[in-house]
């Protein structure tokens, strides 16, 4: 059996033994094609004051972070969710509904700004700890 697998691998087959079959190129998960937009926003025609925001070349990591931050805005955000429609399509689709007092895209941008501030705070804390360890 081992000889058959070795011969099949040499011939380009092998049923997964050292050969990538039907696998996407790794860069396709991260590199945005020249003709694509990173973000698209579409107004929801059925739900008042709601939008669908699609972010290309992202996954559940960014989806969950942004959704969680949107949920923190209890004053304006009435609904926030996301989905990755297919594991081979590297895009996250958010649904955001806000109160009539606030545009849902503004709520989304505010959530991104708060996340950016949080990342800066974490970065500063790490730098302080690294300096303390080195010093």
Closest by Cα among 41, 54, 47, 66 to 93? 54
Q: Which residues of the chain have pLDDT under 70?
A: 1-21, 135
H or E element that contains 94: strand 91-98
* Chain segment 121-134, per-residue pLDDT in tens: 999 999 998 888 87
Q: Give the whole-angstrom CA distance, residue 117 versus residue 107.
A: 15
Task: Count each helix (H run) and each strand (E run) in the chain, helices first.
Answer: 3, 4
Q: What is the pLDDT of residue 135?
A: 66
Q: What is the pLDDT of residue 107?
A: 98
Alpha helices, DSSP H, located in 11-103: 60-72
Q: What is the pLDDT of residue 131?
A: 84
Longest dimension (CA), the chain: 70
């Amino acid at each position: 059996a081992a000889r058959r697998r070795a011969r099949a691998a040499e011939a380009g087959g092998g049923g997964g033994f050292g050969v990538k079959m039907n696998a996407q190129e790794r860069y396709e998960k991260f590199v945005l094609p020249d003709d694509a937009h990173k973000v698209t926003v579409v107004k929801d025609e059925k739900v008042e004051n709601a939008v669908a925001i699609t972010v290309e070349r992202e996954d559940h990591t960014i989806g969950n972070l942004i959704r969680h931050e949107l949920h923190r805005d209890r004053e304006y955000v009435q609904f926030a969710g996301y989905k990755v429609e297919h594991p081979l399509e590297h895009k996250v689709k958010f649904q955001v509904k806000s109160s009539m007092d606030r545009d849902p895209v503004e709520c989304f941008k505010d959530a991104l700004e708060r996340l950016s501030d949080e990342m800066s705070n974490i970065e500063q804390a790490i730098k302080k700890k690294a300096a303390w360890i080195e010093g």
